[in-house]
Structure 1
Amino acid sequence: MEFHFLPIFTFLSLALVASHAALPSEVYWKSVLPNTLMPKAVKDLLHPEWMEDKSTSVGVGKGGVNVGAGKGKQGGGTNVGVGKGGVSVGTSQKGKPVYVGVSPGPVPFLYKYAATENQLHDNPNVALFFLEKDMHVGTKMNLHFIKSTNAATFLPHMVAKSIPFASDKIPDILNRFSVKPNSVEAEAMKKTIKECEEPGITGEEKYCATSLESMIDFSTSKLGKNVQAMSTEVEKETQLQEYRIAGVKKMAGGDTVICHKQSYAYAVFYCHKTHNTKAYMISLKGTDGTAAKAVAVCHKDTSAWNPKHLAFQVLKVTPGTVPICHFLPEDHIVWVSN
């Protein structure tokens, strides 16, 4: 599933000026977070030409958006893809493989939603979730690390701000990206906007970031600027195989912000801060020798989750009884205060 940027009608020039809205994303990261390493998940979502060339120009018009890079030369147009929401990392229970996808069911990391019949029927005994008591060196899990099909990348902050992001603006949004109203792409975009507009669960502070800059601003407003940002990294894509936990490192800090990539025409992240949540970096070793460093998040209090959420139905536990953990896909980001 791909979206295509169309030719521009108006150009906006991006320059290195004092206003943070005009700073290239990498420069803004360094200015706000000089001591925080940029994780691979973020680097992969930045266009190299926007990072390296200060003369990048971006145009926005009613007919669409086009990005041109390099010393006044207009680019040939940029394609951004919206994947089907496939999950990058899956775990299994009792040795069974994982094939849990974000679509057509609800995103499994949004805890107000019940699992759909499709999710339960297709994979009744598998999920991304596991119990905290099983997170220790020596534990074996059947994991399938796959690359996300969602290739959408960040737009420059000024461009993202200029594009509507609201349910009552959907016809205009679809027109800008030349997306047919009844297409699969359109439904994915409508779903993302709706989820962003709905209130969160009790104790959840949520925000949908439509640019890297807005993600940085939300995360630092909740955690301060002395933070770490992490993402899952795997040496290579593998088939389903057994992995053994070789190390567990609990990340410092008492608060976390977790940002989940959504299906949209450009990179949009559902970010939320929840109470009693801890982040871990798990070292894994596959039977074929593949090494992985997977981010796991453990929720100590699940009492506000939907009782029919996928995690409860797979793990056979009830809300608020035991801590529940899950691995994160490679294109999701966890922010932790130091």
Structure 2
Amino acid sequence: MRPSWSLILYALLVLLTAQGNNARKIISLGNGKDNNEDLIDLYQGNEHDHDHSTSSSHMHHMDTALNVFFTPKDLKLGKTMPIYFSKNDPSTSPRILPREEAASIPFSISKLPYLLEFFSFTQGSPQAKAIEYTLTQCELEPIKGEVKFCAASIESMLDLVGALFGSSTKFKVLTTSQLKNSTTLLQNYTVLEAPKEILAPKMIGCHTMPYPYAVFYCHSQESENRLYQVLLGGENGERVEAAAVCHFDTSQWDPSHAAFSVLDVQPGSSPVCHFFPADNLVWVPLPA
């Protein structure tokens, strides 16, 4: 029997209200601001396995935010590396809609003109580009061995996660938690304890997308992945309990994926690891 949906919903709402991410802060429902021309470029610099279409001409905009990628050899006690963790700003994060309200709003690239009018965004604005980007990503076909979906409410995400794991499977969620408030986005962090591997036959990563309300891009890959919890200490004294994953088969990834440029590797030639931003969710089944 699954955990109580009401308890999970409450915990997630508390978590997501308290945590923010650069990808979600860039647009807010009805904010009317069109001054961030790098909106899509900056978003694509954050961790997502499904696309990462990042041209070299835009890399200078994203160098800081791309400090989330590493390789398995970096995941060891005492290792120090620069890492970017976006900070919490709940006041600018898109709100989480209840299932009924989310279901009443079309979510399709074919409805883009209607949606721009509905949200009062002008065509060609950063907000319009963000909506188009998210809808396009959500409608892309999954790569080989991948299962994917986009969820516009916590309830629908829980239903779909439960369906993928099996109706009788209990599961839990992992996140990245900043244990001490800080305004530093990028700094050197040291691995303070031996990383703890989370043994799970399957994992589902849910990433926040740029949209007027909270939308999660969730996916699971059949190839070998290893999930970790890592305690990090920043040079300014900040501590972060981070969720991280290593993907051992990247042969199906888009060659323009940002991780390949950051790590100077080719698709399929080396495992790619990354830390999860604070408002991303990682679902894993519990042992029977």
Per the TM superposition, whether the score is higher than 0.5 is yes
Could you tell me which residue of structure 1 aligns to residue 48 of structure 2?
109
Map of 1:243 onto structure 2: 189
Cα pair 2:152 2:216 within 8 Å, conserved: yes
Counterparts in 2 of 1:38 and 1:142: CA distance versus 1, 3 Å: farther
Aligned partner (choices 197, 207, 218) of residue 260 of structure 1 = 207
* Cα separation, 2, equivalents of 1:101 and 1:286: 28
Partner of 2:171: 227
2:59 corresponds to which residue?
A: 120
Deviates more, 1:223-232 or 1:143-152: 143-152
Matched residue SS, 2:157: helix
DSSP-derived class of the 1:205 partner: strand
- What SS does structure 2 have at the residue aligned with 1:43? helix
**Structure 1 unaligned spans of 5+:** 1-28, 48-80, 86-99
Cα contact 2:3–2:170 (8 A) shared by 1:
no
Tell me by how many angstroms 1:143 deviates. Answer: 2.5
Which stretch of structure 1 is more off in the superposition, 117-126 or 306-315? 117-126
Q: CA RMSD in A?
A: 2.9
Residue 255 of structure 1: SS of its match in structure 2? coil
The CA deviation at 1:251 is 1.3
The question of whether the paired residues in 2 share the 8 Å contact of 1:84 and 1:102 is answered with no
The answer to whether the aligner puts 1:298 opposite 2:253 as a matched pair is no
Match of 2:14 among 14, 25, 43: 43
Q: Distance in 2 between matches of 1:191 and 1:308?
A: 16
1:44, CA displacement in angstroms?
Answer: 4.2
- Secondary structure, aligned partner of 2:268: coil
Report what 1:321 is aligned to. 269
Q: 1:334 and 1:167, CA in 2 relative to 1: closer, same or farther beyond 3 A?
A: same
Q: Unmatched 5+ residue regions in structure 2?
A: 28-37
C-alpha displacement of 1:314: 1.7
Q: Does 1:142 align with 2:82?
A: yes
CA drift of 1:105 comes to 6.2
Looking at secondary structure, tell me which structure has more helix per residue.
2
Q: What corresponds to 1:274 in structure 2?
A: 221
Q: CA deviation at 1:102?
A: 6.1
Question: Residue 218 of structure 2 aligns to which amino acid in structure 1?
Answer: C
Larger RCO, structures 1/2 (Cα 8 Å, 6+ apart): 2
Distance in 1 (CA, whole Å) between partners of 2:41 and 2:88 is 12
Which amino acid counterpart does residue 307 of structure 1 have in structure 2?
P
Q: Which moved more, 1:147-156 or 1:295-304?
A: 147-156
Counterparts of 2:134 and 2:157 in 1: how far apart (Å)?
Answer: 16
Could you tell me whether the CA contact under 8 Å between 1:279 and 1:298 is conserved in 2? Answer: yes
Query: Aligned-pair distance for 1:290?
Result: 1.5
Pairwise CA distance, 1:327: 0.5
Shift of residue 134 of structure 1?
A: 1.1
Q: Measured at CA, do residues 121 and 307 of structure 1 come closer, stay the same or move farther in structure 2, by a change above 3 Å?
A: same
Q: Which amino acid aligns with 2:14?
A: K
* Residue of structure 2 equivalent to 1:213: 155
Provide the secondary structure at the position in 1 that maps to 2:133: helix
How many residues matched?
A: 261
Q: State the match for 2:34 in structure 1.
A: none
Question: How far has the Cα of 1:257 moved from its partner?
Answer: 0.2
Deviations 1:30-73 (A, max 9, x none): 63486x69766x424469xxxxxxxxxxxxxxxxxxxxxxxxxx
Q: Give, in angstroms, the shift of residue 154 of structure 1.
A: 1.0
The question of 1:194 aligning with 2:140 is answered no
1:316–1:39 CA distance, 2 compared to 1 (3 A):
farther
Q: Secondary structure at the match of 2:41?
A: coil
| Identical-pair percentage | 34
Q: Deviations over 1:267-292 (max 9, x none)?
A: 00100011222211110112232111
Q: Distance in 2 between matches of 1:38 and 1:183?
A: 35
Secondary structure of the 2:192 match is: strand
**Using the alignment, how far apart are the partners of 2:116 and 2:71 within structure 1?**
41
Query: Of 146, 151, 156, which residue of structure 2 is paired with 1:204?
Result: 146
Deviation at 1:188, TM superposition (A): 0.7
Match of 1:162 in 2: 104
